[in-house]
Amino acid sequence: MKPFTVHRGRVAPLDRVNVDTDQIIPKQFLKRIEKTGFGQFLFYDWRFGADGKKNPDFVLHEPRYEGATILVAGKNFGCGSSREHAVWALADFGFRAVISSSFADIFANNSTKNGFLAVRLSDDEVATLMKRAQEIDQYQVRIDLEKQEVSDEQGFRAQFAMDEFVRHCLLNGLDDIGLTLQHEKDIAAYEAQHPAPAALSVRSNARS
């Protein structure tokens, strides 16, 4: 998993509340078995019409937001079903973080396990970032996970809270597998002292 330390990037404003996971990645696109390839279907029903043509009015189709890596959205982002594909789609599209005043717990947890940062700021702070992203061309912010701070070149600066264990995992690029592999030597030593079940079965049959 890619570590998240400091990231500076262009901001795209999604001025909508209660964005659920079916809007982030519609259910008909959940047939892939890899974590990649979902970005093309991100916000599909908003980005494209029933005829498959681009919706020119959707924010991510505006040239000024091309290449954005930080999404600012309304409250309760990622609500709905527990599909991890929502985080995969955001990351595959190119986003590294989403800023909102609140997230669904499962979405926030899935973000952590995929090296994707979900930043909680106050409603007023999110509103400020949303307005600046809408009014300032190619607006960028800097997210510093070590300092737990979001800032811009216009004087905005805000701190955000994060569980220390979650922060440690993100800073060091540790998912569940990575955390387990930190104890690889101990695991190997334990397995060396405990024969595999198959070996035990062979020995048992040989004695009988």
Q: What is the pLDDT of residues 76-130, one digit of tens each?
A: 999 999 899 999 999 999 999 999 999 999 999 999 999 999 999 999 999 999 9
Cβ-defined contacts of 2-5 (< 8 Å, 24+): 2/115, 2/173, 3/115, 3/170, 3/171, 3/172, 3/173, 4/96, 4/97, 4/115, 4/116, 4/117, 4/145, 4/170, 4/171, 4/173, 5/144, 5/145, 5/146, 5/171
Q: Which amino acid is at 18?
A: N
Record the tokens describing residue 131, joined without a space: 């307005």
For the stretch 156-190, pLDDT in tens is 999 999 999 999 999 999 876 555 555 456 656 66
Q: How far apart are CA 184 and CA 178, in angstroms?
A: 10
CB count, 10 Å around CB of 196? Answer: 9
Tokens of 121: 């700021």
Return left, alpha or beta for 37; rule: phi > 0 is left, psi -120 to 50 is alpha, else beta.
left
Ranges of H-type helices in the chain: 21-24, 44-47, 85-93, 105-112, 123-135, 164-172, 176-181, 184-193, 197-207
Is the per-residue pLDDT at 202 higher than 60?
no
Site of tokens 């916000």: 43
Residue in the structure block whose two tokens are 């929502």: 86
Structure tokens at 153: 């070149």
User: For 34-58, how does the pLDDT look when each residue is reduced to its tens digit (9 = 90+)?
Assistant: 889 999 999 999 999 989 899 999 9
Residues 6 or more apart whose Cβ sits within 8 Å of residue 182: 174
- pTM of the entire predicted model: 0.85
Q: What is the pLDDT of residue 33?
A: 82
Q: Residue 36: name the closest of 112, 117, 110, 92 by CA.
A: 92
Going from N- to C-terminal start, the domains of the chain cover 6-207
- CA Rg value for the chain: 21
Highest CATH level, class, for 6-207:
alpha beta
Comparing C-alpha atoms, which of 97, 100, 93 is closest to residue 15? 100
